[in-house]
């Protein structure tokens, strides 16, 4: 199993790592179990001080860790710095709010009396070591949005990161250790995907969270189900971006470009299917295609670069197969669609029109800067197209008509509906999907309670 930093801008191997053996994995599981016994008894003030210190260190490290991220997975360095800043913000948010979010809850007096109790309450207690299986596309953020709430709740974390971002994975362990968290509170496991099943089956691991592909989610869910362990899964997405006649077309097209191509389009919550009312279809398509064509593709360490390489050669090949299949099926290419003649795993911003239901790109997630355009005759057809997917992560709606907003919020099958704006995660709001996009929620109070033992405490009269 290769655990290595391979620069996607040129294909060169920068650094390789030896996967941890069974003995080291066992040592770390023992340490996690032992650490949890003590860490679970710490107070929110102590945890918050440590979390704020970790956020401060991340701010200090921002430029250096951003360059590591860019070298490992190709994100433009400006976006990598923004990712680090977002992580520090989330860490401080949970440091500030965890005590309130997990405070004891007192049922209504009438319900307490009706139960025959003199007093009753609900308490949130940590569950123990939680395994996090995380992806490469947001290598800091995906981890922090799990780690900040989990650690603030009193759990300890075990990180199995994607094998192409080992330096980022090791940095995260070091970050929490430098902040003052004891050694076993957050540990990185440098292992391949084949080791996940045995680790999850270990009785010392109490729960798991995974962000990644549908096959990976199925595998983790199957094992966790067999072992009766709680999981949170955030899987793929094929989010609709619906544009109605009343929309601000200039603004919608501008946001659509960023919504499709941030992180070179390698995002589960990126808008991927652009469903436009026939009255404004041509005008939107022209503006959107112009914006996609104008993006600057280049060295991700260059401050002016807007589109870097895809993370892997395999990822680019998968994207090309989807585009080629669509073209063979009759789709038209409004821009892009051809691999550039340069080193590295680059693919240009691409817009496809005339999409049919039989095309793979209609059914499968395009994980790269490829957008599909659909024409809808009315709101009902827009909803039908939007829901004609196995995924249901988020959605975007552009309209000034409140009645239309109400319909979309009621009828779209997704974990989020963003009106006149781009889907983005924020620590205060729950994040997650439905259908094959997974289950459970991250972030907000909902996220911090996912890995808590919700305990009823009842006192007799």
Residues annotated catalytic, as ranges: 234, 268
User: Could you write out the three-class secondary structure of 350-375?
Assistant: EEEECCCCCCHHHHCCCCCCEEEEEE
Query: Which pairing describes strands 350-353 and 332-335: parallel, antiparallel, or unpaired?
Result: antiparallel
- CA–CA separation, 281 vs 194, rounded Å? 47
Pairing of strands 370-376, 350-353: parallel
Written as six digits, the tokens of 245 are 């006649």
Residue 353: count of CB within 10 angstroms of its CB: 18
What angle do the packed helices 141-152 and 166-179 form, to 10 degrees? Answer: 30
250 close to 227: Cβ distance less than 8 angstroms = no
Range 328-336, long-range pairs (CB < 8 A, 24+ positions): 329/356, 329/358, 329/359, 330/354, 330/356, 331/355, 331/356, 331/359, 331/361, 331/372, 334/285, 334/289, 334/373, 335/289, 335/292, 335/293, 336/292, 336/293, 336/369, 336/370
Tally of CA atoms within 13 A in the half-sphere of 359 that contains its CB: 24
> With contact defined as beta carbons under 8 Å apart, do 162 and 135 qualify?
yes
Dist. CA 430–CA 443, nearest whole Å: 5
Which DSSP helix (H) or strand (E) runs through 53? helix 44-73
Contact, 368 vs 379, CB < 8 A? no
430: left (phi over 0), alpha (psi -120 to 50) or beta: beta
Helices 77-101 & 141-152 angle (0-180, nearest 10): 20
Structure tokens belonging to residue 195:
């080791």
- Whether 156 and 35 have beta carbons less than 8 Å apart is answered as yes
């Amino acid at each position: 199993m290769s655990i290595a930093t391979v620069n996607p801008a040129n294909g060169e191997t920068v650094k390789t790592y030896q996967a941890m053996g069974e003995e080291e994995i066992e040592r770390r599981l023992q340490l996690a179990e032992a650490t949890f016994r003590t860490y679970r008894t710490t107070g929110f003030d102590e945890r918050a001080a440590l979390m704020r210190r970790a956020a401060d260190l991340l701010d200090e490290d921002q430029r250096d860790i951003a360059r590591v991220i860019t070298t490992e997975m190709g994100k433009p360095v400006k976006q990598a710095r923004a990712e680090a800043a977002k992580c520090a913000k989330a860490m401080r948010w949970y440091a500030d709010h965890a005590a309130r979010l997990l405070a004891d809850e007192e049922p209504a007096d009438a319900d307490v009396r009706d139960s025959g109790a003199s007093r009753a309450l609900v308490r949130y207690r940590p569950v123990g070591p939680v395994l996090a299986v995380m992806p490469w596309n947001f290598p800091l953020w995906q981890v922090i949005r799990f780690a900040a709430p989990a650690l603030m709740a009193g759990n300890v974390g075990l990180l199995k990161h994607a094998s192409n971002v080992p330096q980022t994975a090791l940095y995260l362990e070091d970050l929490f250790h430098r902040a003052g968290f004891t050694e076993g509170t957050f540990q990185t496991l440098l292992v391949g995907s084949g080791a996940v099943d045995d680790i999850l089956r270990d009785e010392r691991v109490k729960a798991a969270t995974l962000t990644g592909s549908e096959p990976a989610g199925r595998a983790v869910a199957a094992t966790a189900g067999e072992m009766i362990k709680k999981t949170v899964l955030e899987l793929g997405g094929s989010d609709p971006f619906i544009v109605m006649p009343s929309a601000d077309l200039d603004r919608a097209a501008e946001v659509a470009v960023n919504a499709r191509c941030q992180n070179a389009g390698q995002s589960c919550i990126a808008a991927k299917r652009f469903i436009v009312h026939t009255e404004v279809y041509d005008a939107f398509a022209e503006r959107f295609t112009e914006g996609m064509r104008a993006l600057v593709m280049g060295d991700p360490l260059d401050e002016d670069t807007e589109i870097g390489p895809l993370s892997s050669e395999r990822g680019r090949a998968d994207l090309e197969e989807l585009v080629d299949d669509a073209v063979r099926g009759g789709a038209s290419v409004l821009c892009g669609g051809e691999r550039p003649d340069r080193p590295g795993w680059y693919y240009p911003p691409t817009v496809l029109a005339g999409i049919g239901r039989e095309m793979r790109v209609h059914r499968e997630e395009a994980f790269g800067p490829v957008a599909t355009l659909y024409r809808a005759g009315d709101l009902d057809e827009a909803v039908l197209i939007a829901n004609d997917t196995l995924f249901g992560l988020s959605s975007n709606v552009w309209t000034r008509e409140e009645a239309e907003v109400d319909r979309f919020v009621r009828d779209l099958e997704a974990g989020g509906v963003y009106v006149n704006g781009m889907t983005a995660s924020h620590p205060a709001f729950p994040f997650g999907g439905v259908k094959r996009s997974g289950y459970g929620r991250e972030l907000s109070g909902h996220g911090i309670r996912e890995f808590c033992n919700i305990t009823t405490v009842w006192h007799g009269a």
